[in-house]
Every structure is written in C-alpha cells, then in structure tokens.
Amino acid sequence: MDASLVLDEFIRKTEVHPLENHSDLLFQARDLVNLELCNLNYPIETVRLAHRIYGYMGNEGINDRVDLMTKFLQNANGNLEDKFWAKWEIVDNLALLKRYPEMINEQQAFLLWSKAHMQSDFLIQVMYDSTQALGWFELKMTDKWFEIYHELISRVARTAANRRARVLYVETATGLLVYNLQRYEDAVPEIERYYSVINEDPLWDGFDEFNIRVKSYELGLYSGRQQWDNYNRVVEEATRIITDCIAKYERGEHVEINQICDMAHEIGTCLMWEKRYEQAIPLFEYAVSKQGTGVTHFFYAMCIWATEKNKEKTLYHLRMAETTTKGNKGLRSRYKHMFLDTQEFVDVCDDGEFLSVFNQ
C-alpha cells in the first residue's frame, strides 16, 4: 500500500472526526515510508513524504525528522535546493526540540555552506525563522545574531521575489527586540523597516497579511512602553482591516479565508497576552469556526478557562489543539509543555482530566 494514500486517509478521517483516534493509520504510513526510504536509498520525494508524516507524531517525529535529513544528506541525493531544504529542516527541528547548542552549530555551518553554494536570496532564509532565533536568545548570543542580520539584510537586493523572506527576517529581528530583549528604542527603526518592505508594493498578495502582522509588533512595543492610547489605536486599526476583509469575503470578493483567520488569530493573540480576553474571544471564535488550526484552538481554550472556567468547552478545544491536523505540522501532540507553562492553566496544571488530553 502507498504511504501517501494512507497519510491522506489519516488526514481525511482526522479532519472529519478529530477527536477519534486514527493513530493506527499514521503509524502504518510511517512504517510504509520508512520501508520505502531504506529500499530506495532516500529519494527526495520519499524524504519529503516522510517529513510530512513525522510532523504529526509529536516529539518522536521531530527527532525522526532530524535523523531523516541527516541520512538524506549523507546519501548525497537531490539538487542544491533539496540539500538547502534538508539543512534548513535540521536547524528548524533542533530548534523545536530546544536543542539549542546543536542548532546554532548547524545553523552557522549552514550559513557558510549557503554562502558557498547558493544565490544571495537564500542567505536570509537561513536565518529568518523566529523559532530558531529564540535559541540564540536563550544562549545569550543575540549580539552575534544581530551582527549576521545587519550584514545579510543590507547585502541582499530588494526584489519582489525575495520580499516575503526579507519581511520575515525583519519580523524576527523586531520580535527579538520587542518581546525577548525589551530594547524598545532599537525596535522602532525595525518596525519602520518592516513597513518600508511591505509598502514596496501595496498590491502585493502578502500586503494585508503582513500589514496586520506588523501591527502585532507595534502592539508589543506600545505595551512594553505602557503607551495604551497608541495600543488601543492600533487595535482599532487592525480590527477595522479584519472586518473589512471579512465583509469582502462575504460579498464573494477574492479574499483568502485562511489569511483572514490568520489575521484574526494574530491580533487575538496580542489581546490575550494582555489578558484582554473579552476582546480576543470573538477573533478566536471566528478563526476557529472558519479555519481551526491547532494553536488557535489552544489559545481559545486559554481565554475560555480564564473568563468562564467552562471545563467541558475548554477540554474540547484543548483536545482539538492536540489532535487536529489543520495548521498543526510540527505542533500536533506537542501542546503539553505549552499547557504546563501557561499561567491561565496554573490552577489545573496537575488535574488528571486536563492532563489526560495530552497523554493519548
């Protein structure tokens, strides 16, 4: 039987009945793809399929991804872009596992390799991920991270083709300054740089998405500075943009519903961190009803528990976060640590019924 067909069946059944256990299909897909990897000596198509399958299998699958990419590279299969992808995945999955010393060593070697083998547009992709950048913060190496950042962001030509990569890189730098380092003065020019990138073309298909995302960093800045009038102004601006996009969608205009849901999730998350749960809940409710990614279910559960203490409803959305396949690659079956680290759940962090959600 074909591993890809079994995976498709797992995803289909999970999306239709997300709270039922379909792990037998996932394990079957894993066993089939592992056999194919060994028999065919790690061809790139099978490696990419295995990468997808492992992403739904919690920490075990994330560890398997690291081993998978390492073996793929050792077998010297694929072209340069395939090898670039595999090296990026090693770094990213080490970051997800919080194996930060290994991750930084791999990322520095990856950057040197990319400078030798890839065009300049690829260089910012080596460093632009925020989860990976967090490792540099945790190991107190952000000065080196920003040294690389300023070198690369000034080196790469400004083109439409690399605009998304550039804005993600600037976004990660802004996030480090606002949320991790609280260097608010230094964050201001990065937010300005962020706006300058997205305003290169207001008709760019990523304009609305990143116009909301940059506002989430402005909200972080104004929160850190306790500038609540500015904070409220940006919330109103963002809410108006989201409402306008919803109206366009409901009129049948060409607006991606997933993009709207991502925008709602983004602003809802900012409000949630400020404990403005009543403002966040309608945004999460819309995103859950129209899209329903795992992390949106989790954050919605946080708001419900904080405001209502509705156990049945909270448990439902925690289960959905843990089991759904929607937007959950690399996160599925990995929410327990978030639950244990979340202040909103401190009163139930040792409750057996809540913990049972994560021990399936």
For residues 360 and 333, state if they share a domain: yes
For residues 213 and 194, state if they share a domain: no
Q: What residues of the chain score a pLDDT lower than 70?
A: 359-360
Q: Is residue 162 part of a domain?
A: yes
For residues 224 and 286, state if they share a domain: yes
pLDDT in tens, 77-89: 789 999 999 999 9
CA dist., res. 313 & res. 207, Å (int): 35
**Contact (Cβ atoms closer than 8 angstroms) between residue 266 and residue 295:** no
Q: Is residue 97 part of a domain?
A: no
Question: Would you state the pLDDT for residue 360?
Answer: 58
**Contact (Cβ atoms closer than 8 angstroms) between residue 194 and residue 170:** yes
Q: Is residue 136 part of a domain?
A: yes
Question: Would you state the pLDDT for residue 78?
Answer: 81
Range of the structural domain that residue 133 is part of: 119-200
Q: Is residue 110 part of a domain?
A: no
Here the CATH number for the domain that contains residue 49 is 1.25.40
For residues 258 and 215, state if they share a domain: yes
For residues 86 and 2, state if they share a domain: yes
Which of 57, 92, 127 terminates a domain? The answer is: 92
**How many residues can be counted in the chain?**
360
Question: Would you state the pLDDT for residue 330?
Answer: 73
Q: Is residue 316 part of a domain?
A: yes
For residues 175 and 209, state if they share a domain: no
For residues 223 and 189, state if they share a domain: no
For residues 126 and 64, state if they share a domain: no
Which of 184, 200, 216 terminates a domain? The answer is: 200
pLDDT in tens, 261-271: 999 999 999 99
Q: Is residue 245 part of a domain?
A: yes
For residues 18 and 68, state if they share a domain: yes
CA dist., res. 177 & res. 165, Å (int): 19
For residues 196 and 210, state if they share a domain: no
CA dist., res. 355 & res. 336, Å (int): 8
CA dist., res. 317 & res. 292, Å (int): 10
For residues 8 and 82, state if they share a domain: yes
pTM value is: 0.93
Q: Is residue 129 part of a domain?
A: yes
Whose tokens are 């400078």? That residue is: 115
Q: Is residue 100 part of a domain?
A: no
Domain count, the chain: 4
Question: Would you state the pLDDT for residue 83?
Answer: 97
Which of 139, 165, 200 terminates a domain? The answer is: 200
For residues 150 and 184, state if they share a domain: yes
Question: Would you state the pLDDT for residue 327?
Answer: 76
